[in-house]
Amino acid sequence: MTNVRVAGVGLTHFGEHPERTTRDLFAEAGTTALDDAGIDRDAVEGVYYGNFMGEVAEHQGHQGPLAAEALGLDVPATRFESACASSGVAVREAVKNVRNGEADVLLVGGAERMTNLPTSETTEGLAIAADDLYEVRAGLTFPGAYALMADAYFQEFGGSREDLAHVAVKNHANAVGNEHAQYQKEISVEDALDSPTVAEPLHLFDACPITDGASALVLVSEDYAEEHGLDASVAVTGTGQGGDKMALQDRESLCRTPAAGDAADEALGEAGLDTGDIDVAEVHDCFTIAEVLALEGMGFYESGEAIAAARNGETTRDGHLPVNLSGGLKAKGHPVGATGGSQLVELTKLLRGDHHNSDAVPDAGVGLAHNAGGTVASVTVHVLEEVEA
């Protein structure tokens, strides 16, 4: 089994691009990734593309071939849909196919267009990632679902809205200087606490924004990188996936995410590492409580302990485990189909040393990406390591 190297990465700006299509956005990110890798288009053997709500936002399904065509590629192309984990799943499948020798060069990532719709329609479109029969028809949306999870957490373990505000403050601070981020501005704890209610106990600054954008990576086999003299100093050494019941009422607990634990155990096991070996992490913080649940679900903290991590400075840029140095979904933005891929782009840059926050982790050699779909019914985790190019 061959190791998988990240040869190149690319992102668009995350934000409002209502006049641009997903294929256009993906073409920009993909072209940047190919240029970064120094690989010609004719070397690419396939495209793995994540997208969630193309049918809703653009009345367009079957987007895989369109993504390849937009990049000028005449290769097999497949769209992967797993809600907010769509490109995380796409990356996982690409990694497995390079590992098993089916391909030497794959282009993987995702894109989403959301701001062309009214907020109400986007919210309704995102809600189809929940259980339609038992949740959506009852009026549940994801702000409401995560509010239920936050309230259950507070009841079982304690914590407060101020603890969540520190998560938002941290991630907004991390986004300052990120040219790809939707919000490159700091906020205060008071700003977060005083922001309008979305669904108690979650307020506006507890939620990620509606975002357009695209991400892309060029994955190559280790042999290909060596044969072609590529500067590919980051490897994907572990990949894992977990699942859980779709509807919240069917789960044993509203404030635990076992799917994250399963995915992390698999990815870390493949890499021969444990949580103590991770230097920096990008986790799925669609809402501030989601970052807390992710850190506990993967075993970085015991249940009930991660709620104070940001407040205590443990997950800030100068803490012992910097989390979401990109700004996270919270400030960088969340173009759903692109998010999982964008996390690996950010980690690759951090490990290579060309990230806007690289000075915070100058000795980082191992990163972890956690990408969740729905209310964490789908999860992928990837481990990236710095290796010799």
What whole-number distance in Å separates Cα of residue 373 and Cα of residue 362? 31
d(CA 327, CA 46): 30
Is a pLDDT exceeding 80 seen at residue 2? no
* 28 pLDDT above the threshold of 90: yes
For residue 1, what pLDDT band results from cuts at 50, 70 and 90?
low
Which of the four pLDDT bands, split at 50, 70 and 90, describes residue 388? Answer: confident
Instruction: List the structure tokens of 368.
Output: 């972890």
Q: Give residue-wise pLDDT tens across range 221-248.
A: 999 999 999 999 999 999 999 999 999 9
In whole numbers, what is the pLDDT of the chain averaged over residues?
Answer: 97
Strand partners, 142: none
- Strand 47-50 relative to strand 77-80: parallel, antiparallel, unpaired? parallel
Q: Is it the case that residue 339 has pLDDT exceeding 70?
A: yes
Angle between helices 86-99 and 336-352 (to 10 degrees): 60
Rounded average pLDDT over 124-147: 94
Written as one string, the DSSP assignment of 211-246 is -BEEEEEEEEEHHHHHHTT----EEEEEEEEEE--S
The rounded radius of gyration (Å) of the Cα atoms in the chain is 19
Q: What is the pLDDT of residue 254?
A: 97
Record the tokens describing residue 69, joined without a space: 């065509």
Give me the pLDDT at residue 161, please: 98
Residue 3 has pLDDT above 90, yes or no: no
| Residues annotated as part of the active site | 84, 334
- Best-predicted range by mean pLDDT among 121-125, 139-143, 150-154? 150-154
Provide φ and ψ at 224, rounded to 5°.
Answer: -65, -45
183-214 residue pLDDT tens:
999 999 999 999 999 999 999 999 999 999 99
Question: Which among 310, 327, 102, 97 has a CA at the least distance from the CA of 211?
Answer: 327
Report whether 326 contacts 103 (CB < 8 A): no
Q: Which stretches within the chain are classed as H helix?
A: 22-37, 54-58, 63-70, 86-99, 119-127, 142-157, 161-175, 189-194, 222-227, 258-271, 288-297, 328-332, 336-352
Taking alpha carbons only, the member of 266, 222, 262 closest to residue 243 is 262
Position 228 scores a pLDDT of 96
* C-alpha–C-alpha distance, residues 373 and 212, integer Å: 17
Q: What is the pTM of this model?
A: 0.97
Distance CA 5, CA 193 (A): 43
What is the mean pLDDT of the segment spanning 124-152? Answer: 95
40-76 pLDDT tens trace: 999 999 999 999 999 999 999 999 999 999 999 999 9
Identify the structural domains of the chain with CATH numbers, from first to last.
Answer: 4-118+209-383 (3.40.47.10)
pLDDT of residue 44: 98
Peptide bond into 201 cis (omega under 30): yes
Asked whether 50 and 90 are in contact (CB, 8 A), the reply is yes
Which residues, 6+ apart, have CB-to-CB distance to 155 below 8 Å? Answer: none
pLDDT score, position 237 = 98
The stretch 66-95 carries a mean pLDDT of 98
Averaged pLDDT, 284-301: 98
Mean pLDDT calculated for residue range 116-138: 94
Joined tokens for residue 333: 């933005």
